[in-house]
């Protein structure tokens, strides 16, 4: 199974909205997202920055949240996405 990461911010409304969608998707499909809060955890900040070359080109040149990252395929999407789109992205080989 691919290693999937979700970067989110505690005070980011889009992240708050996505969290239950992600959790439901996890329950329904068995997919797992490693969740990393980036504004209150320095290690998570460094982790997200380490993927800047992958994330930024897909996210308006910036490190935006929420960001979903597939470490195995080096692919990322960011922002609010519906469950079907996230599932299709996560299952993409």
Single out the segment in contact with other proteins by CB under 8 A; choices: 27-35, 44-52, 69-77, 85-93.
44-52
Q: C-beta of 52: minimal distance to other proteins in Å?
A: 7
Asked whether position 12 contacts other proteins by CB under 8 A, the answer is: yes
Q: C-beta of 60: minimal distance to other proteins in Å?
A: 6
Burial of 83 (0-12, 13-18, 19+ CB in 10 A): middle
Q: In what order do the strands lie in the sheet with 67-70?
A: 33-37, 4-8, 67-70, 75-78
Q: C-beta of 6: minimal distance to other proteins in Å?
A: 13
């Amino acid at each position: 199974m691919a290693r999937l990461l979700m970067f989110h911010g505690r005070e980011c409304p889009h992240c708050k909205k996505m969290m239950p969608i992600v959790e439901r998707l996890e329950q329904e499909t068995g997919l797992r997202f490693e969740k990393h809060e980036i504004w209150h955890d320095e290690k998570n900040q460094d982790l997200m920055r380490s993927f800047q070359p992958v994330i930024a080109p897909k996210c308006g040149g910036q490190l935006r949240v929420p960001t979903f990252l597939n470490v195995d395929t080096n692919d990322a999407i960011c922002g609010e996405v519906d469950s079907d789109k996230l599932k299709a992205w996560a299952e993409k080989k």
